[in-house]
Amino acid sequence: MCKINKNSPTPQSFAHFPARFGGLKVQESGQLHLILRIKTIQIYPMKKLLTMIAAAALLASCGGTGTTQDTATARYEKSTVDWAKNANIYEVNIRQYSQEGTFNAFAQNLPRLKEQGVDILWLMPIYPISEEGRKGTLGSYYAVKDYTAVNPEFGTLDDLKSLVNQAHKLGMKVILDWVANHTGKDNVWTKEHKDYFNLDSLGNPAIPEGTDWDDVADLDYDNPELRKAMVEAMKFWIKNADIDGFRCDVAGMVPTDFWVAARAELDKLKPVFMLAEDDKPEIHKAFDASYNWKVHHVLNKIAQGKNTADSLAEVLLTEEKDFGGTDILMNFTSNHDENSWSKSEYDRMGGHVKQMAVLTYFLPGMPLCYSGQEAANKKALEFFEKDVIDFSSLPLKDFYAQLNAIKHKYPSLWNNDIQILSTDKNIFVFDRGDIRCIFNFNAEPADITVDFKGEYADVFNEMNVYNPGEQILTVEARGWKCAVKK
Ligand SMILES: [Ca+2]
C-alpha cells in the first residue's frame, strides 16, 4: 500500500511537475541532468515535536503521585545511552572469525577494529549449543543449551571477561546476542523446568508455533516463573562479564511487556543498549534499536534494477509515520542471516555494494558491519559448520573507517531528521541537516545541478569545496556525493 502523501511526488508524477521538482533532461553528453529547485518532503521533525509534547504532558500528569510496582513497570520509560547517538555496530561471528574460533583469537583483532572505528561489538550467541536435534556438525548458535554458560568451543567465562575488558579499554562496547523465544532441545530447563515450555500433544516441549524450527523448544511467556528466570539469566552476564546490552533474536515472538519489564530490571544494574531483531514500532517501548529490513530490501531491489529511488522515499515516509523521533533503525547491507541465507552483498547488490554501504551511514539510523565485510568477503558462510572468513587482506577497512569517522564527526547524522529534496527513477537527493547527499543509482555518470545556499565542502575530502549558487556535480555511475555546509 502506498502511504505517500498526496502532495508528494510519485514515480509517475515526477515528470508532470517540472516547475516544482526540477526537470530531468538528457544533456548533449548523453548524461542525465537533474535540476533541483525546492524541498519536497520533510521527515520526522513534526513527530519529534509531538513526542516532546506528549512526554511533557506525561511528566506533568505523573508529578507527585505514588505508584505501585506494577504501574511503575507499565510506565517504564527507557532512556537511550548517550554513546549510542553516533555509534556503529559490528557483528562478530566468533566461530568463523579465525581458525581457532575462540574469544582469545578474536580479541587479537580488537586494535584493528578500533582503527576501523567500531563502537559496539555484537557477539553472536556465546552459549553452549544443544546436541539434541542439532543441525549440521556444530549446530546453530540460536539453539541454546544453557543461558548462563559459555560455549566451550569459544573458551571460558574468564576469556569472555578478558575480551570485554580489552574492548572497554579501547572504548568499545559489547552486547550479547540473546535468544529468549526458544531454547535448544536439550536446554537444562527442559529437565528442571518443563513448565517453562509450551508442550505438544505428547507432553514434550513444542517447536515455536508457525515455524519449522525443529531444533528448538518454545518457551511459555504465560508462566511468570519463566519470565523471572529469563531476566535473571540476562542479568547474569551484566553482573559477571560487564556487558553493555543485548541484541535480541526474534524479539517480536516474545511479548513486548516481557521486554519492558526486563529492560527496567537490566537498567538498574547498568544503563543498557538494546537492539531488537524485529521491525514493529511497539518494540521500541523496550528497545533502543530495531532492524531496518524495509530499507534493506529496497536497497537490494534498487541495486537489482527492480525498484527506484522513489520507492526508497516511500519507505522512509512510512517509517516517519510509524516510528518516533528517537527510535533507532539499524541499517545494513548484510548480517549473518542475509549472508548465509540470501548470499553475500556482492550477489545481492553487485556493483552497488559500496554505494549502498555509504547510504546506510547517511540515512537516519545506526549502521551495521558484519564480520568479513571489511575483507570484501564474497561467500555465503556456512551456518552449522566451520567456514573461516578470509581476513588475509582488508580491502574495505579504510572505507569503513572513513564512514565511521564521518558518522562520529557530524552531529547532523546523529538524529532522525531527513529532508528528501528530490527523487527520480535513479537519482536520490536529500539533506541531513547541513549535509547534502546525492546518490546516482544509474550505471552511467549523471550531471546534477545543485543550488548550494552557501559554501559546501565534500564530506569525504574537505579540500574539495563547492561555491554558493548553482553547481553542476558529476556523480559517478553507482556513486555518491555528500557535502557539508562550511
Ligand atoms: Ca514466543
64 domain residue, yes or no: no
CA of 180 to the centre of ligand 1 (A): 8
CA of 253 to the centre of ligand 1 (A): 4
CA of 85 to the centre of ligand 1 (A): 31
CA of 130 to the centre of ligand 1 (A): 19
CA of 251 to the centre of ligand 1 (A): 9
59 domain residue, yes or no: no
297 and 425 assigned to the same domain: no
CA of 77 to the centre of ligand 1 (A): 24
CA of 397 to the centre of ligand 1 (A): 39
CA of 198 to the centre of ligand 1 (A): 9
CA of 273 to the centre of ligand 1 (A): 22
* CATH code of residue 428: 2.60.40.1180
pLDDT of residue 10: 34
Domain boundary among 374, 409, 444: 409
265 domain residue, yes or no: yes
CA of 250 to the centre of ligand 1 (A): 9
The Cα–Cα gap between 150 and 128 comes to: 6
CA of 73 to the centre of ligand 1 (A): 21
CA of 142 to the centre of ligand 1 (A): 14
CA of 245 to the centre of ligand 1 (A): 21
CA of 207 to the centre of ligand 1 (A): 10
CA of 257 to the centre of ligand 1 (A): 12
CA of 453 to the centre of ligand 1 (A): 52
- Burial of 130-169, coded b for 16+ CB within 10 Å and e otherwise, reads beebbbeebbbbbbbbbbeebbeebbeeebbbbbbebbee
Put residue 98 in one of left, alpha, beta given phi > 0 → left and psi -120 to 50 → alpha.
beta
- Domain hosting 434: range is 14-39+419-485
376 and 424 assigned to the same domain: no
CA of 220 to the centre of ligand 1 (A): 7
Is the alpha carbon torsion for 400, 406, 412, 418 positive or negative? Answer: negative
CA of 149 to the centre of ligand 1 (A): 23
Domain boundary among 359, 382, 409: 409
- The amino acid at residue 231 is V
CA of 212 to the centre of ligand 1 (A): 14
465 and 401 assigned to the same domain: no
261 and 340 assigned to the same domain: yes
The Cα–Cα gap between 147 and 232 comes to: 10
CA of 13 to the centre of ligand 1 (A): 44
424 and 401 assigned to the same domain: no
CA of 168 to the centre of ligand 1 (A): 33
pLDDT of residue 385: 97
58 domain residue, yes or no: no
337 and 388 assigned to the same domain: yes
260 and 307 assigned to the same domain: yes
Domain boundary among 391, 409, 427: 409
The Cα–Cα gap between 247 and 352 comes to: 28
424 and 403 assigned to the same domain: no
CA of 374 to the centre of ligand 1 (A): 35
Per-position pLDDT tens, the chain of length 486: 223 332 333 333 332 222 223 333 333 333 444 444 333 444 444 444 344 444 444 444 443 333 344 444 556 899 999 999 999 999 999 999 999 999 999 999 999 999 999 999 999 999 999 999 999 999 999 999 999 999 999 999 999 999 999 999 999 999 999 999 999 999 999 999 999 999 999 999 999 999 999 999 999 999 999 999 999 999 999 999 999 999 999 999 999 999 999 999 999 999 999 999 999 999 999 999 999 999 999 999 999 999 999 999 999 999 989 998 899 999 999 999 999 999 999 999 999 999 999 999 999 999 999 999 999 999 999 999 999 999 999 999 999 999 999 999 999 999 999 999 988 889 999 999 999 999 999 999 999 999 999 999 999 999 999 999 998 999 999 999 999 999
pLDDT of residue 75: 65
CA of 288 to the centre of ligand 1 (A): 21
CA of 482 to the centre of ligand 1 (A): 43
401 and 452 assigned to the same domain: no
* CATH code of residue 293: 3.20.20.80
34 domain residue, yes or no: yes
pLDDT of residue 29: 39
CA of 252 to the centre of ligand 1 (A): 8
312 and 223 assigned to the same domain: yes
CA of 236 to the centre of ligand 1 (A): 22
147 and 295 assigned to the same domain: yes
CA of 463 to the centre of ligand 1 (A): 54
List residues bridging with 369 in a β-sheet: 90
CA of 332 to the centre of ligand 1 (A): 26
211 domain residue, yes or no: yes
In the chain, the number of structural domains is 2
Output the pTM of the full model.
Answer: 0.87
CA of 126 to the centre of ligand 1 (A): 21
CA of 331 to the centre of ligand 1 (A): 25
Nearest to 328 by CA among 302, 290, 279, 300: 290
Helix (H), strand (E) at residue 24? strand 24-26
Q: Which three cell numbers stand for residue 408?
A: 562520529
115 and 22 assigned to the same domain: no
68 domain residue, yes or no: no
67 domain residue, yes or no: no
Residue 231 sits at φ, ψ, to 5 deg, of: -65, -40
CA of 222 to the centre of ligand 1 (A): 10
